[in-house]
Structure 1
Amino acid sequence: MKVLLTGFEPFGRWQRNPSGEVARHLDGATIIDVEITGLVLPVSFKRASAPLIAAIDALQPDVVLNLGQGDPVGVRVERVAVNRCVAPAGGDNDGYDPQGQPVVAGGPETYPATLPVPEIVELLSNVKFQVAASDSAGEFLCNYVMYTTLHHIASQQLPCRAGFIHASPLREEVPDLTNGKGMRLKKWIEFTEAVVYLLRTSLSPAG
């Protein structure tokens, strides 16, 4: 099985982005017989899709697992991506500030994740992560990348499954937060490896 694992560069006030660090850390790793290719994407509506689509086409993965930094507490396994782009104040890392434009003109309003969301939530809960399924990946780059991934797979009829997981900022980046908020990079790597293990043992290559 081949997995394309994507994360992001830092953005906004954040000096680090754990999703990108996990993608770099696991690039070239093998879990059981799963070959992982990591890809760090720019936080840019205009520049993120080209390397993402190129990697999918070149690698022909069985799974695309997109990661992104989310809320200060816990892990969110996303169920759906929406065809809408909205940037926060200041825009993306290029300063681009879309306010409601579609990800893909004429594309479906939504795409559901094609990974086993309930099983991922159950697994991470069993290994003591604070985790929940989510029906909103936002409208910034995380949603953009999730939608772009699922749209490319669907439009090209690729034998590939995909989904998105949000998790907390690095604890070192949120020292003002207490009660366990924020997550160590080690824990980011642990939950990602656990999800890859689950996918290997529960999914046969799509076809």
Structure 2
Amino acid sequence: MKILVTGFDPFGPDKINPAIEAVKRLPDTIKGATIVKVEIPTIFNKCAEVVHDAIAREKPDYVLNIGQAGGRFGLTPERVAINLDDGRIADNAGYQPLNHTIHEDGANAYFTQLPIKAMAHAIREAGLPSTVSNTAGTYVCNHIMYQTQYMRDKEFPQIKAGFMHIPFLPDQVTNRPNTPSLSLADDVRGITAALEAIVEFDGKADLDTVEGTIA
């Protein structure tokens, strides 16, 4: 089994992005699965080109995109991506789409194929906060989740794909009072636990338990 794991580069005012820093530190193999790590730019459309090339080159069984969600307490596997770009800020190329449809011939939304409940459960079993999230936002994180699902729908039906958000690092919240953070070591541990769940649940149904929140 091969799992492609991507992480975004820094964006906005931050000089670091926990997504790529954690991805770079993942083990090369997890429970026998080969882990392929790729950095992607925080740029609408360009990030999808990089992921497309990596899928075509590596031919993974699974794709897990990782992104930063400042303000969240835990690691949150995403359930769904929507066909909308609506940037609260410009991306790293200066582009800020507003109410923009990603693909006219795409579904309004795509649901993940990953065992997100098992992933959240495994992360909590590792001693870290995690819940299933039902919104990936409308910025580049949702964009790449949607784009990867669109690739699966149109070109790579053999893959299973999804997205997970992780919190700020402690260094990122020194000037952001009352904002939660998680250490880089814990990010790596949590993502590893999620990947272990993906391997363990390969070919199986996801957990039939409540793993989200009331919101």
TM-score by length of 2: 0.88
CA distance in 2, matches of 1:39, 1:169: 20
CA distance in 2, matches of 1:180, 1:148: 30
1:139 alignment counterpart:
138
CA deviation vs aligned residue, 1:134-159 (integer Å, no higher than 9, x gap) = 11100110000000111101212421
CA distance in 1, matches of 2:14, 2:176: 15
CA distance in 1, matches of 2:44, 2:112: 20
1:63 alignment counterpart:
62
Deviation at 1:180, TM superposition (A): 8.3
Matched, 1:106 2:105: yes
Deviation at 1:100, TM superposition (A): 1.1
1:22 alignment counterpart:
22
1:160 alignment counterpart:
159
Bigger drift between 16-25 and 134-143 goes to: 16-25
Bigger drift between 148-157 and 5-14 goes to: 148-157
CA deviation vs aligned residue, 1:61-82 (integer Å, no higher than 9, x gap) = 0110110000332121110000
Q: Which stretches of structure 1, 4 residues or more, deviate above 4 A after TM superposition?
A: 176-180
Structure 1 alignment gaps of length 5 or more: none
CA distance in 1, matches of 2:179, 2:13: 21
1:70-85 matches, within 5 Å, as 70-72=69-71, 73-85=73-85
CA distance in 1, matches of 2:33, 2:125: 22
Contact 2:8–2:39 (CA under 8 A) maintained in structure 1 = yes
3-state SS in 2 of match to 1:134: coil
CA distance in 1, matches of 2:182, 2:148: 26
Question: RMSD of the TM alignment (CA)?
Answer: 1.8
3-state SS in 2 of match to 1:35: strand
Deviation at 1:36, TM superposition (A): 0.8
3-state SS in 2 of match to 1:39: strand
Deviation at 1:24, TM superposition (A): 2.2
CA deviation vs aligned residue, 1:15-44 (integer Å, no higher than 9, x gap) = 100111122223x71123111111111111
CA distance in 1, matches of 2:176, 2:201: 36
Over 3 Å counting, the alpha-carbon distance change for 1:118 and 1:46 in structure 2 is closer
Give the aligned residue type for 2:181: G
Deviation at 1:204, TM superposition (A): 4.2
TM-score by length of 1: 0.92
CA distance in 2, matches of 1:5, 1:60: 12
Give the aligned residue type for 1:23: V
Deviation at 1:126, TM superposition (A): 2.2
CA distance in 2, matches of 1:84, 1:68: 17
Deviation at 1:186, TM superposition (A): 0.5
3-state SS in 2 of match to 1:4: strand
Deviation at 1:130, TM superposition (A): 1.6
Structure 2 alignment gaps of length 5 or more: 205-215
Give the aligned residue type for 2:83: N
CA distance in 2, matches of 1:180, 1:173: 9
3-state SS in 2 of match to 1:108: coil
